[in-house]
Structure 1
Amino acid sequence: MEFRHLGRSGLQVSAISYGNWITHGSQVEEDAAGACVRAALDAGITTFDTADVYAGTRAEAVLGRALKGQRREGLEIFTKVYWPAVPSGPDDTVTPGHNDRGLSRKHIMASIDGSLRRLQTDYVDLYQAHRFDYGTPLEETMSAFADVVHSGKAHYIGVSEWRAEELRAAHALARELRIPLVSNQPQYSMLWRVIETEVVPASEELGISQIVWSPIAQGVLTGKYLPGQPPPAGSRATDEKSGANFISRFMSDEVLTAVQKLKPLADEAGLTMAQLAVAWVLQNPNVASAIVGATRPEQVHDNVKAAGVKLEEGLLKQIDEALGGLVERDPAKTESPRNIRA
C-alpha cells in the first residue's frame, strides 16, 4: 500500500481508502460488510470513510462494529456532518427536525457525539462538512469545528464538494482559529473532472488534498454496463437505494460505447478496468486517496492493486482520446446544495 500526506499536515492516509456510502447497513448484510472491512485491512488499507447520513446512521454503526478490536492508532477514521441523520427504517418513527440539517453549531455538536458513539471511538481523525451550508454563517460553522478539534473529538477538519471560493474562505478562518483544514472530498473520475479547473489549483495553493469518491464512476468504468443492453440484474443502476440517480448521468449509449474503448488500454497496461480507473485518479498529485466501496471482498483486493501504479503519459493521452468530449469539466456541476436536492 502507498501512503500519502493529507494536505500539508503530518497525517498520512492510505492511497486507497475504504468507504461505505451505499453498502453498509443498506446494500449488503452485516456479515458481508465485515468481510469487506477485513479484506481492506488485510490489503493494507488503514483509512475508512463514512458519514452519519449513510443508511440512516446504520453505516457508521456497522463500521464501528467491524473495526472493533483493531489498534485505533493504526487507523484513520473519517466521517461527515450536514444532512439529516436520524435512524431510518420500517421500525423507526423519528422525523428530522428543523435543526437536524446543515452546519449550525447546534447540529455539529449533536452530530459529532452521535458519530463517535456509533463508531465506538473517542475521536475521528477527520471530521468533514458534507456540503457547504448557505444558511449558516461560515464563521459559526468554523468556530464549532474549532471547538470539536480543541476538545479532542476530531484531529483534522475537511469538507466535501466545496467550491474554490468556499475553500478559500474556510481556510482563512481555519488559520485564524488554529485548526487544520486539510481536505476536500469531491467526486472525481475519468468521466467527471469538474474539480480540475478551479478546486485543484486553489487546493494546491492552500495546502488541501482531495479525497475522491466514485473513482470508478459508480461502476461504469469497470465496463460491465454495455451500450444497447439493460443493466445487469442487481447492479447499482437497477437499485434506487444504491445511488441509481448518480449513475444515470453516465448511462447513455454514447458514454458506454466510449468506455468500452478503455478495455484494450487496460489490457495493455496489465490492469483491470477498475484498477485503471482508480490508478487514473491517483495520478493527480493533489489526490491523497481514492475511496472505493465493495459488496464482496474480492472487489477490495482488485481495486487495491491500483495503489502505486504509474500510468505513462501516452496511456493518459489515449484515455482522453477515447472519452473525447464526453468528459464533464464544468466547475458549476459541483454537487452543491445549490443545484441538488437532499
Structure 2
Amino acid sequence: MKKSHTSDHIKIPPGFWTGLYQLGISAHDVACKARLPLTIIHEPVVTSVQYLAIWQAYSDLIGDTAKGIVKLATVFETAKYPPTVLATYHARDYRDALNRMARYKQLCPPETLRVTEEGEHCTIELEWLYTKQPGPPMLTGITLACLLELGRRGTGQPLTAQLVEFSQSMGDVQVLEAYFGCSVQVGAKCNRLTLYRRDLDRTFVSYNQELLEILTPALDRSLDEQCSRSITEAVKWIIKRSLTGGRPDIQAVAKELRMSDRTLQRRLTDDNTSFKQLLTQARHEQALEYLADPSLDIKEVAFLIGYEDQNSFYRAFRLWEGDTPSNWRTTHLDTNSISKESLGRSTIY
C-alpha cells in the first residue's frame, strides 16, 4: 500500500545527510541546531516545518550562505538523488531535464518551479507552495544552483547562467557569481535563474532511455495521485487564508492557482468534491480552532470565518455540530481543563 504524500510531508533523500557529512557537518549537529529529535535523521519523510528548520540549521552551521550553497551543490553525488531527480539526470537533453524537474518537483514540496522560454532566454522561477513566506535563503539558493548543476553534469560542459536573482540576502555574492558565471542580484522581486536558451538543446551524455522507460510511468502515476490530493489541500488552504470578513469565490481561488475556474471545478469534481464543500469544511475547521481560543468572542469567530452576522454563523454551526457555538466552547474547554488536571495529578503522584 502506497503512503499518501501531502503538502506537509516532504521526503529527505539519504544522500542529503551524506553530502553534509562530506562537508564536515554531522546529522546530529543539524538535528540539535534545528531543535528536532535525533530520530529525524532516520525519518524518510518530515513535515514542511521540520524541513525548513533542517535547512536553516545547515545554513547556521556552515556560516556564509553563498559558500554553503556552492559546497553542497557540487559535493552531492548524482547517484544519491531520489528517483524524482535521478530521472532528470538521464533525460534526453537539458530542455527535457528542466521540464522533468519542474514536473516532478510537484512531488517534492514546498517549492515549485515555473519554466518559461522566450527569445534567447529561458527563465526558471522558484515559488513557494502553501505559503507567502519565502523559505530559508540557503534552500532557495541550492534549488537554483542545482538546476545549473543539472545542466553541467548532464551535458558534461561548464555551462554558465545569464542572470540569477534572489529576493533575500545570500551572503558573499562574489562566491555565487563565480559559481553561476554571471551577475547575481539580491533584493529582487522574485527568485529566478535565467539561462541561455541555446543551451537547452544540448544533449545529455548521461541520457539513458531504458532507465527513463522504467522511472517515468511510475513517477507519472505518483504525480497523478498527488495532484488530486494536493489541489484539494491547496484550495482549502487558500480559502482559510481568505475567509476573514468575506467569502472567497472560486474565480479568485482559481486565479491564485493559475487556472480557469472551469478547470478548477473539473479538478475538484475528479477528486469527488466541490468548491462549496471545501468552503464549508474550511469554515467548520476554522470555527472549531477559533472557538478553542477563549480570548475570541463568538462575534469575532463569526467574522473571522466570513459570516457577516452572528445568526448565520449560529445556524451553520448547529448543522455542523448539532449544538450552539457557546455550548460547544464550554464543553470543549471544560473537557480540556479536566484532562490537564488529570495529567497534572498523574504527574505529581
Give the TM-score, by structure 1 length: 0.23
Kindly indicate whether structure 1 or structure 2 has the higher relative contact order, using CA contacts under 8 Å at least 6 residues apart.
1
| TM-score normalised per structure 2 | 0.23
